[in-house]
Amino acid sequence: MRVALFVPCYVDQFYPKAAIATLELLEKLGCEVHYPKNQTCCGQPMANSGYEHLTSGCNNLFVDNFSGYDYIVCPSGSCTLHIKEHLYADGKEEQATEIRKKVYELTEFLVDVLKVKQLSASFPYKVGLHQSCHGLRGLRIAQMSELVAEPFSKPAQLLDLVNGLELVPLSRQDDCCGFGGTFCVVEEAVSAKMGKDRVADHISHGAQYITSADLSCLMHLEGILRRQNSDVKVIHVAEILNHSM
């Protein structure tokens, strides 16, 4: 199985460990992982700011980098969703359509495609799971609390396979962290308040780590935790799933 690893720009630059963990984990699980080296970004920063019309360069590049693989896997729900919903490329529409179908967020790939039922990982800590909104409501990697439907959570299902890990309950299981791309600076007051409130929920339930399938949320929460000099750390779900004693 030829899997292309899509590492979003801010993960590449700031959170290489999450990308490394994703790569190693996929390899451990038997995938032939490729990293198309000319990749940059999904184009979401422009599009969500109202500049979708400026994303054609990004889109073209994305199509050139990621055509021809069995799957494309990404350790970020938000970027995955953006590709799934907004990747269009003039003259390469066939490839773009292929890619939109084949792109997966890591945890949904592990659960739905690789059908992972066991892991050798171990992580003896109390962990709070932050559901990223794009993963949750966009990709449906978990069930949102407002819908009258069977609950499920692909990240939680995987974390349950990790030795020693204890998931802490939260008062608000899927409230937004307030990152929101440029929202985090344009609406600084509300954004930071949302982030602080999410962090407080995790801390009050005894979390030692906050994890998520989305690093953009974690980057935001980490910014707040570090400002508060908190001992609580953020960690991408891939790093936990790839973590051995």
Partner 1 sequence: MSTATTKDHPHLAAEFNRDEPRVNWHDETLWWVRAKRDIAAHKLPEWELLRETASQIKFNVLSNLSTYLEQFEANAIKNGIIVHWAADAAEHNQIVHNLLEQRGITKMVKSKSMLTEECHLNEYLKEQGIDVIDSDLGERIVQLANEPPSHIVLPCIHKKKEEIGDIFHEHLGSAKGESDPKILTETARQHLREVFLTRRAALTGVNFAVAETGEFVICTNEGNADMGAHLAEIHIASMGIEKIIPERKHLGVFLRLLTRSATGQPITTYSSHFSKPQDGTEIHIVIVDNGRSIQLGREEFRNSLKCIRCGACMNTCPVYRKSGGHSYHTAVAGPIGSILAPNLDMKKYADLPFASTLCGSCSNVCPVKIDIHDQLYKWRQVIVKEGYSPKAKTMAMKAMALTLASPTLYRMGGKTGRLVFKYAPFAVNNKLNPWYNQREMPKAPDESFGEWYAKRKGAKN
Classify strands 71-74 and 2-5 as parallel, antiparallel or unpaired.
Answer: parallel
109-128 residues in contact with partner 1 (CB under 8 A) are none
Task: Report the distance separating Cα 102 and Cα 2, nearest Å.
Answer: 11
Which residue of 43, 77, 128, 155 would you call a contact of partner 1, by CB under 8 A? 43
What are the helix (H) ranges across the chain?
9-14, 16-28, 44-47, 56-66, 77-86, 93-102, 106-108, 133, 154-159, 183-186, 188-204, 215-227, 237-241
Taking the complex as a whole, the smallest distance from the CB of residue 125 to partner 1 amounts, in Å, to 21
Residue 32 in the binding site for partner 1 (CB under 8 A): yes
Helix (H) or strand (E) holding 126: strand 126-130
Closer to partner 1 by CB, 5 or 116: give it. 5
Residue 135 in the binding site for partner 1 (CB under 8 A): no
Do the Cβ atoms of 114 and 61 come closer than 8 Å? Answer: no
Task: Report the distance separating Cα 7 and Cα 29, nearest Å.
Answer: 19
Residue 58 in the binding site for partner 1 (CB under 8 A): yes
Residue 232 in the binding site for partner 1 (CB under 8 A): no
3 state DSSP class of 220? helix
DSSP 8-state assignment for residue 169: P
Closer to partner 1 by CB, 88 or 126: give it. 88
Contact range with partner 1 by CB under 8 A, out of 49-57, 87-95, 122-130, 158-166 = 49-57
209-228 residues in contact with partner 1 (CB under 8 A) are 219-220, 222-224, 226-227
Residue 29 in the binding site for partner 1 (CB under 8 A): no
Taking the complex as a whole, the smallest distance from the CB of residue 169 to partner 1 amounts, in Å, to 15
Residue 95 in the binding site for partner 1 (CB under 8 A): no
Residue 37 in the binding site for partner 1 (CB under 8 A): yes
